[in-house]
Amino acid sequence: MANATGTMRLKLHIWRQKGPNQSGAIKTYDVTANEHMSFLEMLDVLNQELIGKGEEPVAFDHDCREGICGSCNLVINGVPHGPQRGTTACQLHMRTFKDGDEIWIEPWRAKAFPVIKDLVVDRGAFDRIIAAGGYVSVNTGSAPDANEILIGKADAEEAFGYAACIGCGACVAACKNASAMLFTAAKFAHLQKLPQGRVEADRRAVRMVQQHDAEGFGSCTNQYECEAVCPKEISVTSIARLNAAYRRASLRSVEV
């Protein structure tokens, strides 16, 4: 809780790193924020203070600040996106914390997500996984043609649930193996659940898993940390779908 005026005095322990090939360290800062601020707005306040002192502001990634883009990739007190379930860091409000709290803020930690600066990491590996097979190349016609294909409500809702993945990388940051299987599986499963995406499902599964491994992500050992921290609460059933398709494709020796 904040004090009677709604303000909070916080001690922030933040990872600072000038570049990808330089060593980094935790630096400590004091900041006063309002309980109604978002977590990123609190960091904005800190940065304004640092700029006013002639110091380098803390680099952190953000874009929409509406829980949609997946850019706000912060580990807050050891948990990707912080303590509130189903919430991105940009939608996490300071009323979640108490006046006088100490907060530790770090970037995603994974070989496949190299640090660019401070709290910003390169998540280009996700783009390459999608490019490797996460699309439909068969001709589905125009929008009216696609709408003529009847899809059951349950299938449509499940596909939409997988498609809700925003590619933030929290699943990787939480996994002890730095696996990106929840992300890869979600991008596979939302297409595999629909008739337009089933045509190339086996080949897509092989391509995406191969690219996942080539990027340096670890293997999935079914600990479910990924589902627990996913801001869109993507189900690990997507991983089962991907594994089944991958095994089927391997038995059929599907060409990629």
Residues comprising the chain, all counted: 256
pLDDT digits (tens, 9 = 90+) for 170-225: 999 999 999 999 999 999 999 999 888 888 899 999 999 999 999 999 999 999 99
59, 89, 117: which is the final residue of a domain? 117
Residue 137 lies in a domain: yes
Q: How many domains would you assign to the chain?
A: 2
* Containing structural domain, residue 139: 123-252
Average pLDDT of span 118-126: 98
**Domain containing 147 — which CATH number?**
1.10.1060.10
Q: Is 73 within the bounds of a domain? A: yes
Which single residue is written with the structure tokens 């897509």? Answer: 204
Q: Say which residue, 256 or 80, is predicted with more confidence.
A: 80
Residues 133-147: pLDDT tens digits?
867 777 777 777 767
pLDDT tens digits, 7-52: 999 999 999 999 999 999 999 999 999 999 999 999 999 999 999 9
pLDDT of residue 134: 67
- 113 lies in the same domain as 128: no
Q: CATH no. for residue 19?
A: 3.10.20.30
Question: Do 85 and 22 sit in the same domain of this protein?
Answer: yes
What pLDDT sits at residue 173?
A: 97
* Assigned domain for 35 exists: yes
Same domain, 223 and 198: yes
Q: Is 161 found in the same domain as 57?
A: no
pTM over 0.85: yes
Residues 144 and 50 in one domain: no
Q: How far apart, in whole angstroms, are the C-alpha atoms of residue 104 and residue 100?
A: 13
Binned at pLDDT 50, 70 and 90, residue 129 comes out as very high
Q: Please state the rounded mean pLDDT for residues 112-138.
A: 92
Q: State how far the Cα of 250 lies from the Cα of 108, in Å rounded to an integer.
A: 32
Same domain (yes/no): 190, 84: no
Q: What confidence score (pLDDT) does residue 255 get?
A: 67
Q: What is the pLDDT of residue 144?
A: 74
CA distances (Å), origin 182, targets 138, 162, 166, 225: 25, 10, 11, 10
Q: Does the residue 38 lie in any domain?
A: yes
